[in-house]
Amino acid sequence: MNTVTLGIIGAGRIGRLHVDNLLTIPQVKIKAVSDVVVDHLQEWAASKGISILTTNYQDLLADPEIDAVFICSPTSTHAQIIQEAARAKKHIFCEKPVSFSAEQTIEALRVVVEEDVQLQVGFNRRFDPNFKKVRDLVQQGEVGQPHILKITSRDPQPPSIDYILTSGGLFMDMMIHDFDMARYVMNSEVVEVSAQGTVLVDPAIGEAGDIDTAIVTLKFANGSLGVIDNSRQAVYGYDQRVEVFGEKGVAVADNCRPTTVEVSTVDGTVKDKPLYFFLERYTQAYIAEVTQFSKMILAGEKVLCTGNDGLQAERIAKAARESFLTGRPVKIEHETVISQ
Amino acid sequence: MNTVTLGIIGAGRIGRLHVDNLLTIPQVKIKAVSDVVVDHLQEWAASKGISILTTNYQDLLADPEIDAVFICSPTSTHAQIIQEAARAKKHIFCEKPVSFSAEQTIEALRVVVEEDVQLQVGFNRRFDPNFKKVRDLVQQGEVGQPHILKITSRDPQPPSIDYILTSGGLFMDMMIHDFDMARYVMNSEVVEVSAQGTVLVDPAIGEAGDIDTAIVTLKFANGSLGVIDNSRQAVYGYDQRVEVFGEKGVAVADNCRPTTVEVSTVDGTVKDKPLYFFLERYTQAYIAEVTQFSKMILAGEKVLCTGNDGLQAERIAKAARESFLTGRPVKIEHETVISQ
Amino acid sequence: MNTVTLGIIGAGRIGRLHVDNLLTIPQVKIKAVSDVVVDHLQEWAASKGISILTTNYQDLLADPEIDAVFICSPTSTHAQIIQEAARAKKHIFCEKPVSFSAEQTIEALRVVVEEDVQLQVGFNRRFDPNFKKVRDLVQQGEVGQPHILKITSRDPQPPSIDYILTSGGLFMDMMIHDFDMARYVMNSEVVEVSAQGTVLVDPAIGEAGDIDTAIVTLKFANGSLGVIDNSRQAVYGYDQRVEVFGEKGVAVADNCRPTTVEVSTVDGTVKDKPLYFFLERYTQAYIAEVTQFSKMILAGEKVLCTGNDGLQAERIAKAARESFLTGRPVKIEHETVISQ
Amino acid sequence: MNTVTLGIIGAGRIGRLHVDNLLTIPQVKIKAVSDVVVDHLQEWAASKGISILTTNYQDLLADPEIDAVFICSPTSTHAQIIQEAARAKKHIFCEKPVSFSAEQTIEALRVVVEEDVQLQVGFNRRFDPNFKKVRDLVQQGEVGQPHILKITSRDPQPPSIDYILTSGGLFMDMMIHDFDMARYVMNSEVVEVSAQGTVLVDPAIGEAGDIDTAIVTLKFANGSLGVIDNSRQAVYGYDQRVEVFGEKGVAVADNCRPTTVEVSTVDGTVKDKPLYFFLERYTQAYIAEVTQFSKMILAGEKVLCTGNDGLQAERIAKAARESFLTGRPVKIEHETVISQ
């Protein structure tokens, strides 16, 4: 294969972002886009050279020229579309989470395995050069046996209450990225979580049944400990830090800032705030994840962030929610339910 | 009072350190030192201009010229000596912890209150300019209502197994400093702790009944959350960081390093490791705490780190240990047992 | 105008880089590319969707659809092509320097003015977000009246001796960027230069009649002082720093590094070296300069880096060389020879 | 010798600072202090345990118990007192500069050599741990053969006009420290200087015949280049940076700040300004220089900053002033006039 031909299912913010990034890759061709409504997308699709625009994603699955699809539709549709796409022998890039239920996710993955297609889950942060370097350093033994993982992950502003009502809650829609990051940098499974959460940012979030501030501690299969803190609102920008401490040292990935400029006046020395949000911070990561996906599909090699990675992060998120609700640590069994 | 005359009870490493620091304060006179063995201290005491050297600390309490005593003897003797010193109307500086039991500590504090003397507990880190600035910024509202506290506190190397056997364990001998720091920078009481701990540094520590790696989450009376991570061994030096995140921003105190020099070569850009251990890192803090104590005694004003501060930190340490042993969060009641 | 149609004259490294960056701009169409040899470019041009590939740049000038040309051919050809392009009513983006002689540059600019086309000179560093921020801070008065400018600019490795033999020398091929940066961030003309130079990196550079290490001090029309240091070889990477010190403070743009990761071990704390060279460091700047050029051409507004900017930087470079050769400060008259 | 007994000539700010620092050294005894007026010093001297207070410095020279004197009187008196002290066989610590004239300095040093006493000149910055580390790294070859030296040295506020009128001017009273630093970190003599200077901070400084802003370039005997920039007023604090760039890398000593705390809010990330002035920045250096002096006198070993170091810095300062006045580079011959 010299070129990979793609269909994009769902052309919301993230779908259109993937399109832009995919168009920078010479070996990629985007043939078709589907969404539930497409009228407002005509001009956009034309400007991107996309020839087919449809309200029926099954048109994409039925198109023999299309090698792979990007599933960027709402989470509630992921599991069903994954199965249909796999049955149609399409490789799949699916936004996280795969579903809100481990059963549904497992069911979808079973079909992926049966049909022997590839499925990459959109944990874009794995492709951030900072966090990837931490992972690489750990893998190379630069910090020795890991002892403590620390992740700080704070959004610059809360999502809308509408979003919160359907998001699955902080553990499932926000901290799930950190659970995946934990598994990624530590290269070990999480076997127990203990969650603390509260509402400090906006009472409306509490009224919507969610929390906005949380700290979760983790135990890993390799015996090490970890902690993640989340907030829905860091007024100074997107606070994204990862630290792995081990027997030989510590690796710390700090925030990224727009410039390196520091201004010193009588009032102090001031530098830029962290980059504002995920589109700014993870620009490179978003490009890298779709580039890597395309490359692996072209090469017929295994993608770097699989369905099982999606499943495990979802299971940790569920356990964290249970721990938060019961006030007790929750253990996570690691039977291998699926080998993808 | 123009001069404060002091007696030092216990001339081990920390006692001798206090002597050196106290001698830099013009208004302070050190008249006497006691220890269980004093023969090896003759030359040292002479060089410091200390006229009385005795094996009986009660000689110091009986000396009418002595205004205040520093209790730097083993923890097991603190509560008894505090009571005797208070009865003798001496002001007291006592190393932490006050005792290994809340009952003993309360008993000692009752006598301090009855006799109306001052008692300062040696939580030296409160006097570190970095952490003090974080506290001041929080107090001034610069970060708004606090939401999340993060403390990282890692020693460069574990103490001897002998020390561990009598220290009261990681929560009582090491993390107690962080519990005090938590109360100090957040200006709110800890109402619940949840502890995770393990042995990753040295199995001998586990065999001695202790742990060497721990993460403790905290809930504060003001509704905010916190997390402390400890390790007995950070090979790169003394890792001491504090962060308070709130509605208006975040204040982060980073590690201190011997110099600001950075060297860039083909291998990367290298700067100094953090200062090695508490004697290097907290040099200024140790001077500041005894200077502040002396100043308050001279001025007849209340010391900044009281017996109650000692008691509360001990209660949190006890609760953390209980949480670690039971695997459950432990609540802490905050009846005011003592007003000192 | 909704779209700007471009021709590219010269498809060496920098020409091809501009093509890639221009192709990310929706309103830009690249119709034709010329070079002295084009056989090896067929596949490349096709992959970029460029329909015309020619050995005769005059084909581009004769094409009525082409609105503007990028001159990326050797410096010795710039002045001539500028004039021809201007006569053909094409807007022009020209790589620096415009020429090796003020007379030639002025002659070319006269035609540009006569024909009322736009000419932007490729001082890409003006579009670096770090240096732009320093400029903006100075413009906004954040550092008050400027007193001292400091520029450090060191390449990771020397160019080939072949390049050095035809480059015009360090002042003209390398420090010319810094002379432009000086005018840009200080917003004031250079009225005197005093140059020190030597050969420390490689004797072969000296044998080729050039230097590899230089320090040049500047006096500005506004009375402030400046200093630039250059080296052909900083083994740790591309060292690009700018600092403006003034009555109210100082603004410092530091180097950029691939990641924010710091690793602390027993050996120290290590972070990434600066980005390796101009392609890495000025990725954003190269995109921004062609985006800005296209935008200004489309809007019919004046470009941000004009022929006069090119001319002035060349005049300073000449003066610096004269100062280096004579061992004396050299004054620079600022008659406005050309208003472009 | 177990103890060194000292006399202090001149009890102004710097004299009293030395007294405080000397009193922290166990092996030092300060027996006597002289100043032109002493009435206001009675209480101070008593509090320091200094038994003799006199208006006649020759009393100190005549006292056989006194091993060494600190000359902290006005510069105009240094050369004369050095000679008298040397004749009296006292070792000498003399504040910089030794004199305002190379002839006077040489004359004084001749007597020092003849009488075989030690003379240390008060270039305190050599003892700053940051700059010392840069020097050590250069000595150890960590940056390879040095190519470029950069020193930034800016005071937080100008001295009084009265001071300026008698100080010898910016090159002699301020940049002299940097000339010494240049020789110290490069371990090579300065063979040529080229100076630029102007008045940008305060016209009154110009009216007093001095400048307040200067840039001086240096050529070293080892072929490398250097540049120093000075300002009398950096409103953000004492800006003291040193950088040595060489064939294998670069070593950069940055400013020191009161704390490591960074606060991020919607307005940016703010950290402390540099330490305010020399008393804050060079606290450790001032202690280290007198400790080192005392140690060398006690050990009978050669001091680390000799009369010749003082002389050479003065000669560079003179040459810089000449270059500034003539507008031309000035060469410096390095005949060894004196071996001290």
Q: Which of residues 213-242 of A touch D (CB under 8 A)?
A: 235-237
Tell me the pLDDT tens digit for each residue of C63-95: 999 999 999 999 999 999 999 999 999 999 999
Q: Which of residues 95-154 of C touch A (CB under 8 A)?
A: 129-130, 133-134, 137, 142-143
In a domain, D337, yes or no: no
Nearest to D8 by CA among D50, D47, D49: D50
In a domain, C340, yes or no: no
Check whether C251 has a pLDDT greater than 80. Answer: yes
Q: Which residues of B touch A152 (CB under 8 A)?
A: 150
pLDDT for A112:
97
Q: Any residues with CB less than 8 A from the CB of A246 and at least 6 apart, and which?
A: A138, A143, A144, A145, A146, A147, A148
Return d(Cα A288, Cα A332) in angstroms, integer.
31
Return d(Cα A227, Cα A186) in angstroms, integer.
12
In a domain, B339, yes or no: no
Q: Which residues of C touch D196 (CB under 8 A)?
A: 194, 217, 219, 225
Place of tokens 């053909």: C88
Chain-chain contact of D245 with C234 (C-beta, under 8 angstroms)? yes
Q: What letter does residue B322 receive in the DSSP assignment?
A: H
Tell me the pLDDT tens digit for each residue of B6-20: 999 999 999 999 999
Q: Which residues of C touch B265 (CB under 8 A)?
A: 235-236
Chain-chain contact of A261 with C252 (C-beta, under 8 angstroms)? yes
Q: How far is B158 from chain A (nearest CA, A)?
A: 12
Both B119 and B263 in one domain: the answer is no
Nearest to C201 by CA among A214, A57, D144: D144
In a domain, C338, yes or no: no
Mutation for testing the A interface, residue in B151, B231, B260, B324 having most A CBs under 10 Å: B231
Q: How far is A132 from chain C (nearest CA, A)?
A: 10
Angle between helices D13-22 and D283-299 (to 10 degrees): 60
Tell me the pLDDT tens digit for each residue of D188-202: 999 999 999 999 999
**H-type alpha helices, chain B:** 13-22, 42-47, 57-62, 75-87, 102-115, 129-139, 161-167, 170-173, 175-186, 203-207, 278-281, 283-299, 307-326
Both B186 and B257 in one domain: the answer is yes
Chain-chain contact of C237 with B273 (C-beta, under 8 angstroms)? no
Chain-chain contact of A247 with B227 (C-beta, under 8 angstroms)? no
Q: Any residues with CB less than 8 A from the CB of C170 and at least 6 apart, and which?
A: C197, C210, C211, C212, C214, C230, C232
Both D116 and D140 in one domain: the answer is no
In order of A186, B283, D257, D294, the CA distances from D19 in angstroms are 56, 22, 26, 12
Query: Do the beta carbons of residue A176 and residue A170 sit within 8 Å?
Result: no
Nearest CB among A194, A236, A245 relative to B196 is that of A194
Return d(Cα A225, Cα B229) in angstroms, integer.
9
What beta strand segments (E) does chain D contain? 4-9, 28-34, 52-54, 68-71, 91-94, 119-121, 146-154, 190-198, 213-220, 225-231, 239-246, 249-253, 262-265, 268-271, 330-331
Closest-CA residue of chain C to A247: C265
Chain-chain contact of D269 with A268 (C-beta, under 8 angstroms)? no
Both D157 and D103 in one domain: the answer is no
Nearest CB among B24, B129, B264 relative to D259 is that of B129
Among residues of chain B, what percentage have pLDDT more than 70?
98
Query: Between these two residues, B2 and D320, which has the higher pLDDT value?
Result: D320
Chain-chain contact of A262 with C248 (C-beta, under 8 angstroms)? no
Chain-chain contact of A227 with B229 (C-beta, under 8 angstroms)? yes
Contact A322/D at CB under 8 A: no
Query: Do the beta carbons of residue C284 and residue C17 sit within 8 Å?
Result: no
In a domain, D300, yes or no: yes
Check whether C334 has a pLDDT greater than 80. Answer: no
pLDDT-derived band of residue C331, with 50, 70 and 90 as boundaries? very high
Return d(Cα C1, Cα C3) in angstroms, integer.
6
Closest-CA residue of chain B to D274: B260
pLDDT for D44:
93
Q: Supply D221's token pair.
A: 């005997």
Query: Do the beta carbons of residue D79 and residue D99 sit within 8 Å?
Result: yes
Among residues of chain D, what percentage have pLDDT more than 90?
93
pLDDT for A148:
98
Q: Which residues of C touch A137 (CB under 8 A)?
A: 261, 263
Nearest CB among C47, C249, C260 relative to A254 is that of C260
Closest-CA residue of chain C to B235: C266
pLDDT-derived band of residue D1, with 50, 70 and 90 as boundaries? low
Helix (H, G, I), strand (E, B) or coil at B41: helix
Q: How many CB atoms lie within 10 A of CB A115?
A: 17
Q: Supply B112's token pair.
A: 């301090």
Q: Supply C100's token pair.
A: 């090796």
Chain-chain contact of A236 with D269 (C-beta, under 8 angstroms)? yes
Closest-CA residue of chain B to D24: B24
Chain-chain contact of D253 with B265 (C-beta, under 8 angstroms)? no
Check whether B252 has a pLDDT greater than 80. Answer: yes
Query: DSSP characters for D113-146?
Result: HHHT--EEE--GGGG-HHHHHHHHHHHTTTT-SE
Tell me the pLDDT tens digit for each residue of B162-201: 999 988 999 999 999 999 999 999 999 999 999 999 999 9
Residue B36's CATH number: 3.40.50.720
Both C314 and C168 in one domain: the answer is yes
Chain-chain contact of B233 with A215 (C-beta, under 8 angstroms)? no
Nearest CB among B152, B227, B327 relative to A229 is that of B227
Closest-CA residue of chain B to C258: B268
Chain-chain contact of C129 with A259 (C-beta, under 8 angstroms)? yes
Q: How far is A272 from chain B (nearest CA, A)?
A: 14
Residue range(s) defining the domain that contains residue C80:
4-125+286-306
Chain-chain contact of A249 with B226 (C-beta, under 8 angstroms)? no
Mutation for testing the D interface, residue in B132, B247, B259 having most D CBs under 10 Å: B259
Chain-chain contact of A253 with C266 (C-beta, under 8 angstroms)? no
Both D185 and D242 in one domain: the answer is yes
In order of D169, D191, D230, the CA distances from D217 in angstroms are 18, 11, 12
Check whether D77 has a pLDDT greater than 90. Answer: yes
In a domain, D74, yes or no: yes
Both B241 and B167 in one domain: the answer is yes
Contact B266/C at CB under 8 A: yes
Nearest to B35 by CA among B5, B64, B73: B73
Angle between helices A307-326 and A175-186 (to 10 degrees): 120
Place of tokens 């939580």: B123
Residue B234's CATH number: 3.30.360.10
Both C156 and C102 in one domain: the answer is no
pLDDT for A334:
73
In a domain, B218, yes or no: yes
Identify the H or E element spanning D16: helix D13-22
User: What's the mean pLDDT when you consider all of chain D?
Assistant: 95
Nearest CB among B251, B260, B263 relative to D263 is that of B251
Q: What letter does residue A64 receive in the DSSP assignment?
A: T
Give me the numbers of helices (H) and strands (E) for chain C, helices first please. Answer: 13, 15
Place of tokens 């240094």: D78
Q: Any residues with CB less than 8 A from the CB of A79 and at least 6 apart, and which?
A: A98, A99, A104, A105, A107, A108
Nearest CB among B130, B254, B263 relative to D142 is that of B263
Those residues of chain A that have pLDDT short of 50 are none
In order of A43, A55, A188, C27, C231, the CA distances from A40 in angstroms are 7, 12, 45, 20, 55
Tell me the pLDDT tens digit for each residue of B296-322: 999 999 999 999 999 999 999 999 999
pLDDT for A337:
60
Contact D267/A at CB under 8 A: yes
Check whether C340 has a pLDDT greater than 80. Answer: no
Nearest CB among B265, B269, B272 relative to C271 is that of B269
**How many domains in chain D?**
2
Return d(Cα B269, Cα B272) in angstroms, integer.
10
Q: Any residues with CB less than 8 A from the CB of B326 and at least 6 apart, and which?
A: none
pLDDT-derived band of residue D26, with 50, 70 and 90 as boundaries? confident
Average pLDDT of C104-124?
Answer: 96
Least confident of A90-99, B13-22, B124-133, B326-335: B326-335
Q: ω before D97 within 30° of 0 (cis)? A: yes
pLDDT for D177:
97
Return d(Cα B172, Cα B170) in angstroms, integer.
6
Both D179 and D249 in one domain: the answer is yes
Chain-chain contact of A260 with C255 (C-beta, under 8 angstroms)? yes
Contact A256/C at CB under 8 A: yes
- Region of C52 on the Ramachandran plot (φ > 0 left; ψ -120 to 50 alpha; else beta): beta
Identify the H or E element spanning D82: helix D75-87
Helix (H, G, I), strand (E, B) or coil at C323: helix
pLDDT for C165:
94
Check whether D317 has a pLDDT greater than 70. Answer: yes
Both B78 and B139 in one domain: the answer is no
Q: Which residues of D touch B249 (CB under 8 A)?
A: 263-266
Tell me the pLDDT tens digit for each residue of B268-291: 999 999 999 999 999 999 999 999
ipTM attached to this prediction: 0.94
Q: What share of chain D is helix, strand, coil (3-state, %, to 5)?
A: 40, 25, 35
Nearest to B219 by CA among B331, B125, B144: B331
Nearest to D190 by CA among D209, D167, D173, D171: D171
pLDDT-derived band of residue C47, with 50, 70 and 90 as boundaries? confident
In a domain, D269, yes or no: yes
Average pLDDT of D120-137?
Answer: 98
Mutation for testing the A interface, residue in C24, C263, C284 having most A CBs under 10 Å: C263
pLDDT for D334:
73
In degrees and rounded to multiples of 5, residue B2 shows phi and psi of -100, -25
Beta bridge partners of B214: B197, B230
Strand order in the sheet with D4-9: D52-54, D28-34, D4-9, D68-71, D91-94, D119-121
pLDDT for B339:
62
Average pLDDT of B238-248?
Answer: 98
Chain-chain contact of B217 with A223 (C-beta, under 8 angstroms)? no
pLDDT-derived band of residue B333, with 50, 70 and 90 as boundaries? confident
Neighbours of chain A (3+ CB pairs under 8 A): B, C, D
Nearest CB among C150, C196, C248 relative to D194 is that of C196
Both D188 and D321 in one domain: the answer is yes
pLDDT-derived band of residue D2, with 50, 70 and 90 as boundaries? confident
Both B212 and B300 in one domain: the answer is no
Neighbours of chain D (3+ CB pairs under 8 A): A, B, C
